[in-house]
Amino acid sequence: MKKLTLVISFFLFMLNCFSQGSNPGILAGNVMDDKKKALQDATVELIPLKDTLNKEAKRTGKDGDFAFSNIGFGYYKLRISYVGMQVLTLDSINFRTERYDFNLSDITLKPKSTENLDEIIVYAEKPLIQSKDGNITFNAGESALAAGSNASDLLNNVPLVSKDPNGKITVRGKEPKILIDDKPVELNLQQLQDLLESLPGSSIEKIEVMTNPPPQYANEQGGVINIVTKKGKVGRSGRLNISAGTRGDFGISGNFSYRKQGFALSINAGAGYNYLQGSSHSERNNFYTDSSNFFNTKSRYNNENARPNFRLNMDYDIDKRQSLNFVLQYNQNDYWNRNTTEYTNIDRFGDIYRLSERTIRSEGDSYSPNLNLSYTRKGKVAGESLKIITGANFSFNTSLRNFYQQYFNPDHSFNGLDSTQKQFTDNKSNGYSIRVNYDKPLPNKKTFLSFGTFYNRSNSHIEVDASYLKKPEEVFQKSDLLSNHFRFHQGITNFRGSVRQLIKENFSVTAGISVENTAVFFELYKDNRDAKNNYWTALPFANINRSWKDKLNLTLAYRRSIRRPGINELNPTIDFGDPYNVRFGNEKLMASTAHNFDFVIGRTKQLYYVNLGLGYNIVEDIFSPVRTLIPGEKTQITWENISGRKEYEMSTWGGVTINKKIKVNLSASYTYNVYSDFDKTVNRYRNGGSFTSNMNSTYTPKDVLNFTGSFTFNRFANPQGFARWNWSMNVGVQRKFLDKKLIVTLNIIDPFLQETKNFTYGTNFTLQSFSTAQTRNFRLSVGYNFTKTAKKKTPAPVKK
């Protein structure tokens, strides 16, 4: 604690250092043409609005770069000219105490037209969170929370986004489609989690949440989350980040970027280490015809993992209308976990009649390379485009789990009985996908067509070898019941078409349909049988959008969506990590479909924005984990299709600018689930509500100093009960030094104990469980940007 106090004191002392002069303003940027070629010797003029004659002029360098320094406070405009190009003016750039350093990258000049009109753009600064047409943009590059974090951490701070108790990402309670740089991520849940946890937060430019997605993803029940990575500046640039926390975590990542005309290369590499401790306890009350008893557990755990990662992104413009993009990514996860659980059986009189303790040591690793290749061709008519996206992914996972259980007398003395087991799992997965999108506006400029198709194939080969230590021979004997060997294949084929009709300005109607075929095939070697399922699904969609001068927006949308079970829900392998709670998947699960009706109204003004969403969903053939009490005082947990439910949803998200230094954003979503009378009577399912909330705030006293805070609270319902999560919190303080090249950030994460409560109600039992995780962390991050900044030396002015 003394060391931590010294670190924080030093950090706060540094915040007061490096004071600025009387004219601290800096303005830098780079200029290019519409072919992304850097323009050397372009004329750049900085003109104060209060005295237009007192202007300063520069010429751009070989990379199109320019820089002004020693700029006084006030409003300015920036005028850029080049031979054969339209003059561009950026108006209303405000230099002030809380913001006096501007970096304007990729300023594009257009060829001079016959009308010879100049282009004037009113400059608008980027806030932490933006909202337009019901969609949300979280500008991670503006947030102190990005330092030392990863993509998974940042998603926790985005309005409307949350994670359910299984770690699955949701938007307003429904699962979205994840994109990275506008390309879909075709991975299973575990692969997606590994990818997001290995993607450094410092490499992310922004996160877009599209509650009303484009036609390509119109049938995604939770909309779309698009993670946009940083592309770097013209020329060479780099970035190095190091972070460490009091919880035992450590991370290092670096980036190199190179850009020139028609070519961009970005390389990210790094590694992270995490250590997490926690504990839990549960109380289960079993009911029988003539008696009842109790089964209690207490456990503690510690998990460690190391995650090296590498990502290469390359963009190449073949010509003015054709471009290629290539992405190569590699993620690795090595982990070491230990869990110890005490099991206690208690009769109805409160006496212990069985007592044991089980220790599980797990270690394993996963290697996940994947690649994407995209081709884009723009038509001669604005808005016409053809895009082909291909991808392939691979995953190699191995894990070894060792189990040791001791049995005790009621007084905790050892009774001489114990057991030893082990389980080795080898999981090899691969997949490939191709997606084609074509958009074309008709000559009337009011009708827009969109067509597309995709095919996505995934394969898994899983071998589970379980054995137990046979006594007194002291040799391991194979356990056929707990071993398994199977292959899983899934292919999804989709055809899509839609039309968007512009009724008048800011008023449009869109309608379309997707037709999908899903083919699932299990090769169950252990049972010497196959299991197949093949079905077609029609997924219509439509929406009406009306807006008034970007101030008020109305959207009414309908979509039919489909949710397919993944390998985690289908895997029939028995997990005996807990001998009293038998878990396994169900290869006979059917996909769940839903009719989703959404109404969103939003208003955006200069100082605030607010949105209200109302939804009604009819969900059919829901698959959900169901827990039942079986003989031997055990519970069985597996996935089952239940009849269906109706969902009533209300959500809101908004933000307010209190002043130029303080901004606050809030979001909340509530979904109430209603089950059929049959399920409530026979299965004892319960109607219930899920609630998610998020609050973000930023305070920027100076351009080089900012404070960012994020607070969340979630509560999730399921057919047999609910899981309640307490508050989580992340507060960041960021200070920039050396012309913003050196960035130091202190994050205070979950200073209060995190506890999760789960309540489950079965036909003949009730279960209450409580778990805590030691997520409290004080993390210090240091980053350095290897980029050009404004120089104090003033180049010779342009001759007049």
pLDDT at 429: 94
Residue 589 CB partners (closer than 8 Å, separation 6+):
565, 569, 570, 623, 639, 640, 641
Listed range (616-630, 741-755, 784-798) with the worst mean pLDDT: 784-798
8 Å CB contact between 497 and 513 = yes
Helix (H) or strand (E) holding 242: strand 235-245
Tell me the mean pLDDT in the region 94-122.
74
Sequence-distant (6+) residues with CB within 8 A of 650 are: 612, 613, 614, 615, 669, 670
Q: Determine which of 334-348, 609-623, 673-687 has the lowest per-residue pLDDT on average.
A: 673-687
Residue 790 has a pLDDT of: 41
The pair of three-digit structure tokens given for residue 759, joined into one six-digit string: 């309540």
Question: What DSSP designation does 200 have?
Answer: B
d(CA 499, CA 510): 6
pLDDT at residue number 50: 86
What is the side-by-side order of every strand in the sheet holding 88-95? 56-59, 43-48, 74-81, 88-95, 119-122
| Residue 13 confidence class, pLDDT cut points 50, 70, 90 | very low
Query: What is the per-residue pLDDT across 626-645, written as a single tens digit (0 to 9) for each?
Result: 888 888 778 888 888 888 89
Point out which residues pair with 536 in neighbouring strands: 517
Work out the number of other CB atoms within 10 angstroms of the CB of residue 232. Answer: 22
785 versus 432: which is more confidently predicted?
432
* pLDDT value for 353: 93
Q: Where are the domains of the chain?
A: 2-122, 131-786
Say if residues 649 and 674 touch (Cβ distance below 8 Å): no
Give Cα 204 distance to the centre of its chain: 11
The three-state (H, E, C) secondary structure of 337-354, written as one string: EEEEEEEEEECCCCCEEE
Q: Do domains 2-122 and 131-786 have the same CATH topology?
A: no
pLDDT band of 788, cuts 50, 70, 90:
low
How far is the first Cα of the chain from the last one, in angstroms, to the nearest whole number?
A: 64
The answer to whether the beta carbons of residues 315 and 263 sit under 8 Å apart is yes
User: What pLDDT score does 391 carry?
Assistant: 96
Closest by CA to 598, choosing from 158, 160, 164, is 160
- The pLDDT tens digits for 20-49 are 445 678 888 888 887 778 888 899 999 998
H or E element: which one contains 193?
Answer: helix 189-198
pTM over 0.85: no
Strands (E), 659-726: 662-675, 688-702, 705-718, 721-725
Higher pLDDT, 427 or 506: 427
Cis peptide before 215 (omega within 30 of 0): no
* Strands, sheet with 25-33, edge to edge from the N-terminal-most edge strand: 65-71, 25-33, 101-109
Average pLDDT over every residue of 658-670: 89
Residue 16 binned pLDDT confidence (cut-offs 50, 70, 90): very low
CA distances in angstroms from 772 to 28, 249, 280, listed in the order given: 48, 18, 6
In this predicted model, which residue has the larger pLDDT, 102 or 11?
Answer: 102
Residue 792's pLDDT is: 40
What was the pLDDT predicted at 18?
Answer: 42
Q: Is residue 65 predicted with pLDDT exceeding 80?
A: yes
Residue 772 has pLDDT above 70, yes or no: yes
- Beta strand 235-245 with 777-786: parallel, antiparallel or unpaired? antiparallel
Tell me which amino acid residue 333 is.
N
> What's the confidence (pLDDT) of residue 98?
64
Q: What is the pLDDT of residue 22?
A: 57
583: Cβ contacts below 8 Å, ≥ 6 apart: 574, 575, 577, 636, 637, 638
Q: Do 259 and 37 touch, CB atoms closer than 8 A?
A: no
Question: 157-180 burial string, b = 16+ CB within 10 Å, else e?
Answer: bbbbbbbbeeeebbbbbbbbbbbb
Residues paired with residue 724 on neighbouring β-strands, in sequence order: 715, 757
Residue 327: exposure state from Cβ atoms within 10 A (0-12, 13-18, ≥19): buried
With CA atoms as reference, report the closest residue to 740 among 269, 64, 69: 69
User: pLDDT tens digit string along 294-318?
Assistant: 999 999 999 999 999 999 999 999 9
Question: 140 phi and psi, to 5 degrees?
Answer: -60, -30
Rounded CA separation 45/269 (Å): 39
For tokens 């996972």, the residue is 397
Report d(CA 462, CA 522) in Å as an integer: 11
Query: 234 or 61: whose pLDDT is higher?
Result: 61
How much is the average pLDDT of 611-633? 87
Distances (CA, A) of 85 to 121, 319, 495: 16, 19, 43
Higher pLDDT: 42 or 582? It is: 42
The pair phi, psi for residue 568, each rounded to 5°, is: -65, -35
Taking only Cα atoms into account, the Rg of the chain, rounded to an integer number of angstroms, comes to: 29
Range picked from 121-135, 162-176, 532-546, 561-575 for highest mean pLDDT: 532-546
CA proximity to 787, closest of 734, 735, 733, 738: 738
Report the CATH architecture of 2-122: Sandwich (2.60)
3-state DSSP call for residue 361? strand
**Average pLDDT, rounded, for the chain:** 86
The yes or no reply on domain 131-786 and CATH 1.10.645.10 is no
Distances, alpha carbon 317 to alpha carbons 45, 166, 384, 766, in Å: 30, 42, 17, 62
Tokens describing residue 101: 């350093």
State the average pLDDT over residues 419-444: 95
- Euclidean distance between CA atoms 727 and 497, whole angstroms: 44
CB-based contact 123:89 (threshold 8 Å): no
Q: How far is CA 713 from the centre of its chain?
A: 17
Q: Identify the CA nearest to 534 among candidates 503, 579, 492, 575.
A: 492
> Looking at residues 109-120, what average pLDDT do you find?
70
Nearest CA to 251 out of 623, 721, 777 is that of: 777
Confidence band of 115 (pLDDT split at 50, 70, 90): low
| pLDDT > 90 fraction of the chain, expressed in percent and rounded | 44
Please write the tens of the pLDDT for every residue from 266-277.
999 999 999 999
